[in-house]
Structure 1
Amino acid sequence: MTDIFTSKPNTDLSGIHIVVTGASSGIGLAMAEGLLRSGATVALASRPGVKLNNQIKRLASSGLDAYPLPLDVRSETSVADAVHWVEKTWGKLDVLVNNAGIGMQTVNKRFLIEPQPFFQVTPEGFRNLIDTNLTGYFLVARGFAPLMIKQGYGKIINISMNHETMKRQGFIPYGPSRAATESLSYIMAADLQTYGITVNMLLPGGATDTGMIPEEFRRQITFPLLRPRVMIEPIIFLASSKSDGITAERISALEFSQWLKERETLN
């Protein structure tokens, strides 16, 4: 991931401590590196292994303040361990980015060319994806919320996807997992507003090259895929003081510049 930046970011995130889940590859890695290059201290939360270790080594060799944070978002014990690490190591958490997830290939490897009706999805496959993509967001946010409440501030950013995908034929259980994530986000925002904690949603704005598409089917895709770096500018904004007070917003990275311009016009 050497082409993330063509110039130095104009937002300084020095002193900001951030956890990004699902950060060893794809969108999560792009966001983590973007935040790091803006000066933030970032824990890349992911299942432990060579992939996470290699990314940490690469980022640290560039002088970036990156930490490995072993995490299984489906496990309350693993989440509790991650929260303990943050409290002990940093003593605070400014921003949580909920991004960890698995895709449709876990239930149907040919989902792009042969959509599978919901009644052919196995209960095990359904539960596995929901446990990761939806329950995982809940467990991680639930784990870190008390720390943010104690601080009296904090930002949670939940990564989502296009509404079209939530209704697309053959996209159970991935579509429902992200539709429920958005409902979860709105309610979290309402629950946490009185504590000075904001909750927003960020989505790429189109099909993105994240590694969730099986390699053997990539050549059959007739439309261009977004690059993960599309998420960098908006995630830096949402992690910065520029987004203070903004909550319960659903932001498309592809339309971020227009969204920001309209918001500045209204204010």
Structure 2
Amino acid sequence: MTKTNTSNPDTDLSGIHIVVTGASSGIGLAMAEGLLRAGATVALASRPGVKLDNQVKRLKSSGLNAYGLPLDVRSETSVADSVEWVQRTWGKLDVLVNNAGIGMRTVNKRFMVEPQPFFQVTPDGFRNLIDTNLTGYFLVARGFTPLMIKQGHGKIINIMINRETTMCKGFIPYGPSGSGAESLSYIMAEDLRPYGITVNMLLPGGATDTGMIPEDLKRQIKSPLLRPRVMVEPIIFLASSMSDGITAERITALEFSKWRIKYNTVD
């Protein structure tokens, strides 16, 4: 079976077109596959390469409506090319998931056990991470928003990090990129309210088993690592009609069931 069974037609994503950035591995791949199995048409956007090609081929072989979309979120030209592809191929975009990012290992490979003070971070290392994790969210959302405004609807979901991480020793520039992305999301939500476009935030709720944590350092983490699949249920909800009208929410995947009860979205 290629499509996930669901007794709730509101979470059937048939006819919904979604772009997920950073989707060739980790959380992005888990979300993309979950959305596909809920019936959505999904473009896995990532830097071009064998990793992206292999995942798209695997998903397509399962009968899922997956596309590969080469994208460098740091490049305005690359973003513009992706927007043009979506307009030409689909003619619309219902949901954008901003997820592409790089981790602390790009500036300090031993960040888990030997935290590096901010004044030892190289300017190039700082810029590279901020350009990807923060400016990338801005550029991609900026690129696709006019299409959503023109069509009169759309949903943007920005993937966040724990607030504790934004204050953790040795987490420059990863922490500031997360704080910036959160502020960006709240302001985007307010800017887009008049257009009927929603902006929400989603985060796992703990350290997650992805490539951002080097294999030799994973054993240093005391609590069990979350699996990327923790994001699947909430991302399907946020992409579905059940989240219509909900905006400026910051949702933790681990606490998603509690959030739904509090927000009164449970039937």
- Which structure 2 residues correspond to residues 95-244 of structure 1 after superposition, within 5 A? 95-244=95-244
User: Quick one: which amino acid aligns to residue 264 of structure 1?
Assistant: N
In 2, Cα distance between equivalents of 1:184 and 1:58? 34
2:181 is paired with a residue whose SS is helix
Matching residue of 2:86 = 86
Task: In structure 2, give the amino acid aligned to 1:165.
Answer: T
Query: Following the alignment from structure 2 to structure 1, what is the Cα–Cα distance between the partners of residues 164 and 71?
Result: 30
**Contact 2:242 2:265 (8 Å CA) reproduced:** no
Instruction: Map Cα deviations across residues 10-31 of structure 1 (whole Å, 9 max, x no partner).
Output: 4210000000000000000000
1:259 is aligned to 259
Using the size of structure 1 for normalisation, the TM-score is 0.96
**AA at the equivalent of 2:215:** E
Aligned to 1:74: 74
Return the offset for 1:202.
Answer: 0.3
Deviations 1:69-118 (A, max 9, x none): 00000000000000000000000000000000000000000000011000
CA distance in 2, matches of 1:200, 1:228: 19
SS in 1 for 2:30: helix
1:194 is paired with a residue whose SS is helix
Indicate the RMSD between aligned Cα atoms, in angstroms.
1.4
Name the residue aligned to 2:18: 18
- Structure 2 residue runs of 5 or longer lacking an equivalent are none
Q: CA deviation at 1:221?
A: 2.3
Deviations 1:111-148 (A, max 9, x none): 00011000000000000000000000000000000000
Aligned counterparts of 1:223 and 1:65: Cα–Cα separation in 2: 36
Q: Structure 1 161/9 Cα, relative in aligned 2: closer, same or farther at 3 Å?
A: farther
How big is the shift at 1:210?
A: 1.2
Sequence identity percentage: 81
Give the structure-2-normalised TM-score: 0.96
Query: How far 1:222 sits from its partner (Å)?
Result: 2.2
Q: 2:37·2:64 contact (CA, 8 Å) conserved in 1?
A: yes
Q: Secondary structure of the equivalent of 1:24? A: coil
Distance 1:262 1:218 in 2: 34
Distance 1:246 1:265, change over 3 A: closer
1:8 equivalent in structure 2: 5
AA of the residue aligned to 2:5: K
* Aligned-residue offset at 1:9: 4.2
The number of aligned residues is 262
